[in-house]
Amino acid sequence: MTFVFHGREIHKIGVIGSGQIGPDIALYFSKVFSRQGVKVVVVDISEEALAKGEAKLTKKIDRGNESGAFSDEWAAAMKEAVTFSSDYGLVSDADFIVEAATEDKGLKGRIFADLEARCSPETIFASNSSHLEPEQIFEGMEKKDRCLVIHYFFPAERNPLVEIVPAKETAPEVVSWLMDLYESIGKVPIKVGSRYGYAIDPVFEGVFLAAALLAQKGVASPKEIDAVATKALGLTVGPFTAMNLTGGNPITNVGLSNYTTKINAWYHSPEILQKAVETGARWEVPGRGEKVEVDPSKTKRITEALQGAFFGICSEIVDAGISTVDDMNMAVELGLDMRAPFSFMNSLGTAEALRLVEAYHAESPAFPVPEILKKKGDSNQPFSIHSIQREDRDGVAVLKIRRPKVLNALNQEVFDELRQIFPALDEDSTVEAVVLMGFGVKAFVSGADVRFLAKIETPEQAEATSLDSQAAINQVESCKKPVVCAYNGLAFGGGNELAMGCHYRVARSDLKVLAAQPEPNLGIIPGAGGTQRLPRLIGLEAAQSLLRTGRPISASEAKELGLVQELVDGDVVTLRERSIEIAKALAAGTLESHKTPEVPMENVPETLPEINLKHLSRAVDQILCNTILEGAKLPLADGLRLEAKAFGEVCKLKDFRIGVENFLTNGPRSKAPFVHG
């Protein structure tokens, strides 16, 4: 069998190297491609490494099977898809090869020279190097336009982040194809400039260096530094623990030594690390669940040093043009499980962030103070951080909400961006239409951030919150250019309300769960227009049932009900391209818009039917029913104001507090113990 993805066929993928990361890369490929019949071949010259790699992959598949993550059939297909072999001839017909051998330029060069002689001129060659520039790795290749670095992060089968690092000679269409492919298979790719270490490893290794220098100076022990670092930088584990887990001492030692000339003189391998590499010793770190008490004055010094280094490192990478504020902010949080750096600086104030970096520079003069931070910090202006990415394609602005860690959930910043973007699009003469979608394959928008609900204290505050979210969606709806919603994944709560503010809705046909208004499960009602737009789009009878029960619907049911106008077979790229075609047809007037009608509905009944609410709050349902019925009799704008007022009324109820606290404590699947009042 062959998997076809936008002009390229993949029937076999090669992974070169069965060491620490190669089997995990193969595992991920088998997970996403095995059911399409794509074969994965792992090649290594060491039979011992092959045996260990195969055992590791099998163990992880079995563990996933036991936990229910993989069905018996799927687990069997994954194992069947992967072959471990010392025979390089088995990858001669591979369409895509990822090399994951030792971080050695000469070795990598020899591997790719051999592969180029064996493989098709169309085979894409990627190196999972963690540091080496692609120009260095592929300098001996005849056909460099299909060669680049694809850097995975530990653990490769679970960590969603990948850096796509093209060389100067890499064909842009290859880069674009790979960015789309990796997004379509569930990864989060960022395009990164070619410099030794790329964008993310200098953060990981630089923070470790800052921690190691503190230990080397005798400020604190590695155990104490790790304990403070988790709070100072929002880490799950401290930098020394991370080194123990990844076995990263040797490669970090090499990386830091090369950064000295490749980035700046502050980077170097400290004596404490060199000794650890020589002896093979592990760092003494906090045990699982161990509480480490650290003196407050010592805590402050560690915190300020680590934060100063962290902010300076991330800002320098943007200063150098290796990455962007948006990509770094997302990628560091996602790939390294640290606080998003530029959001972190904004929360402290950029003046304070600059003070911390300058203080670190004063202690370590080789550490630079980046210009981008100087400009912001001198006036205490926040960094502009965008969660909505824009790409213009043939006169259509494709907007993608990209918050993968929270399944593209809406927060205040996203609502603010929507308010800014759409008026600008109205005035942009180069744009004739808009496509709005989410990042990835799981969610268009999973909903609104529930945490803000816990902060609501008064009905007036709740009403203002509702009106604020409505205003952002109203801005989408009132856009002079046609706006197509591309449901690339599920849309719950505020996500579906945002979709209903668009003028036309298209969805992937294979989505078994597409849309829902699950607010009653939280002890609230929709507050971003759902009670008013859904009845007008699909009829009051169908809408009232979905609104009151929170029942999710599939893409096919959404099409039957009229919420979605077209279903698209295929992946998210196919969905995007079809949505662009529809947007252009709407702009040309050859296709009819499906905006929410603004006029009052006709034949509105006096009451809604009794339904089995099960555990849901009867008090919330009463307010919801009244809002649906009374709003339907009004023009849309008045109905939305009624909804906002009703949202405030709901927040007076005990069931509101019960629902929100239950969600935050026990998760979305837990049934709240409502008291119906």
C-alpha to C-alpha distance for 482 and 395, rounded to whole angstroms: 12
φ/ψ of 57, rounded to 5, equals -65, -45
Q: Tell which residue, 187, 576, 567, 168, has the closest CA to residue 397.
A: 576
497 an active-site residue?
yes
C-alpha to C-alpha distance for 427 and 480, rounded to whole angstroms: 9
Task: Give the Å distances, CA to CA, from 384 to 343, 381, 436.
Answer: 9, 9, 21
* Residue whose structure tokens are 């529930």: 450
* C-beta atoms surrounding 510 within 10 Å: 13
Q: Report yes or no: 198 and 192 within 8 Å, Cβ to Cβ.
A: yes
592 an active-site residue?
no
**Torsion (CA) 637, 640, 642, 644 in degrees, nearest 10:** -140
At residue 310's C-alpha, the angle toward residues 304 and 313, to 5°, is: 135
What count of residues does the chain have? Answer: 677
User: Which of the following is catalytic: 363, 497, 557, 606?
Assistant: 497
C-alpha to C-alpha distance for 315 and 624, rounded to whole angstroms: 48
DSSP for 582-606?
Answer: HHHHHHHTSS---PPP-SPPSS--S
Amino acid 335 reads G
Q: Give per-residue burial for 618-634: e unless 16+ CB within 10 Å, then b.
A: ebbbebbbbbbbbbbeb
Longest CA span, the chain: 82
Could you tell me where the DSSP H helices lie in 337-458?
Answer: 341-348, 350-363, 371-378, 412-427, 451-454
Q: Report yes or no: 435 and 484 within 8 Å, Cβ to Cβ.
A: yes
C-alpha to C-alpha distance for 571 and 576, rounded to whole angstroms: 9
Q: Report yes or no: 579 and 506 within 8 Å, Cβ to Cβ.
A: yes
State the Rg of the chain over Cα: 27
C-alpha to C-alpha distance for 122 and 112, rounded to whole angstroms: 14
Burial label for 319, CB within 10 Å (0-12, 13-18, 19+), is middle
Please, what is the end-to-end C-alpha distance for the chain in angstroms? Answer: 58
φ/ψ of 434, rounded to 5, equals -135, 140
User: Which of the following is catalytic: 163, 316, 519, 643?
Assistant: 519
Q: Which two tokens stand for residue 363?
A: 């202690």
Q: Which helix (H) or strand (E) holds 77?
A: helix 72-81
* Residue whose structure tokens are 């502050």: 266
Task: Give the Å distances, CA to CA, from 164 to 111, 177, 318.
Answer: 20, 11, 16
Where in the sequence numbering do the catalytic residues fall? 497, 519
